[in-house]
Amino acid sequence: MANTKASKFFSLILLLSFVLIISIGESRMTISKRSSNKLTLVCNKIYGTQVGDTCFSIIEAFHLTDAAFNTFNPNLNCNKVFVGEWLCIDGSAK
């Protein structure tokens, strides 16, 4: 009786180990597929800032939404816009 329980326990451990190994392998493949399909932002039109420009005035002048402007310029600090800074005002994802 003890030998049968030990055999069943060993079979269960072996099965769980196999399932764990397969799930780890599958998750790694899924992660690498996701990262290779990353979209890249391409700027189609730029604007050089001038004296008195603010993020708000540029958004209004080019009829952009806040979300679009911030997506086109992800590293922009609107409190420190300087004259001659190149900003993306139209973009697409490829």
More confident residue, 83 or 23: 83
In the predicted structure, residue 2 carries a pLDDT above the cut 90: no
**What is the percent of the chain with per-residue pLDDT over 70, rounded to a whole number?**
84
Q: What are phi and psi of 42, to 5 degrees?
A: -120, 125
User: Domain 41-93: what homologous superfamily?
Assistant: LysM domain (3.10.350.10)
Average pLDDT, the chain: 85
* Residue-wise pLDDT tens digits, 9-37: 888 888 777 777 777 766 665 555 555 56
pTM higher than 0.75, yes or no?
Answer: no
User: Quick check: helix, strand or coil at residue 50?
Assistant: coil
Q: How far is residue 30's CA from residue 3's CA, in Å, rounded to a whole number?
A: 41
Write down the pLDDT at residue 34.
55
Cβ atoms < 10 Å from Cβ of 44: 10
